[in-house]
Structure formats: structure tokens, C-alpha cells
Amino acid sequence: MNTTRIYLVLACLCLLVTACEKQDCFTPPEPVVFEFVDAEGNNLITTGQLHNDNFEFREELGNDQNELVEHTIGVDDRVTLYSVGWSGGVEQFKFLSTIKSFSFLVKARNNKGCGGTKIEQVTLDDVEYQQKEGYFLITLVPE
């Protein structure tokens, strides 16, 4: 009878411990996606005015240092940044092109109780844009 109680107590403790374990719920931040258009709404990648040789993204690291940020161009001719927002806090970036350049900030927060981050806000400076469902539509007019 005593062994039955011991097994019952051990089973309850095991259930309690496993129920309180941290779940594996790592979530990477959503990518930041841009579509670049001209004043008439024509996609600048589709028209050939923007291509990998005449634009880039840079992360501002401080002390006049920056680092190239990888991007991909999708079949929809939108540009995707997968590597932004991975650290909690504010990151500052620059988009540099032969048409127009601008800076933008990405504010992310750490997920509570899980790994990963969530992008809370993307702020673009000195450029006309609209936030659409899942991407930013940016109008680039030559400087």
C-alpha cells in the first residue's frame, strides 16, 4: 500500500514538472518586404530601373560603421529582408540606390517565455510609402 502511494505521488510530480516545462515555441521575426515603384506606380525592378547592381541595404552599427544586409528579389519583384529584427530593440538601416536613398528603423521586442523576436514597428524616413498587407509600397522619385 505504501508503494502504491509513492508511485502515485511520483506520477503526480512527474506530471507537474512536465506541465511546467518551457515549451519549444521559438518564433523568428517576420521578414520586411519592400516594393519599389515610380510616380506612376510601375514596379522599378520589373521595368529594370532597379537591379542588384544599383541598390543595397546597410545596417548602421554606430561610429560611422555599417554592414551590408542580404536581400532577395522574389518572383513578384518585391525585395525581402530576412535578417532584420532578430535582436530586441531598435536597429537602423539605410537603403542606397542610384534613384533615391533613405533610412529606416526596425523596432523589435523579445518574445516573453519563448525564443525569437517580433517586429513591432518599421519607420521609413524621407520617402513616400504606404504600408500594405505584408509589405511596404515605396515610391522612389529621383533626387
Structural contact between residues 69 and 93, judged by C-beta atoms closer than 8 angstroms: yes
Identify the pLDDT of residue 86.
Answer: 82
Confidence band, pLDDT 50/70/90 cuts, at residue 20:
very low
Q: What percent of the chain has pLDDT over 90?
A: 63
**Average of per-residue pLDDT across 99-124:** 90
pLDDT, tens only, 116-135? 888 899 999 999 999 999 99
pLDDT, tens only, 63-85? 999 999 999 999 999 999 998 88
SS3 47: coil
Model-level pTM? Answer: 0.79
Structural contact between residues 57 and 94, judged by C-beta atoms closer than 8 angstroms: yes
Confidence band, pLDDT 50/70/90 cuts, at residue 19:
very low
Give CA–CA dist 118/25, Å, rounded.
Answer: 13
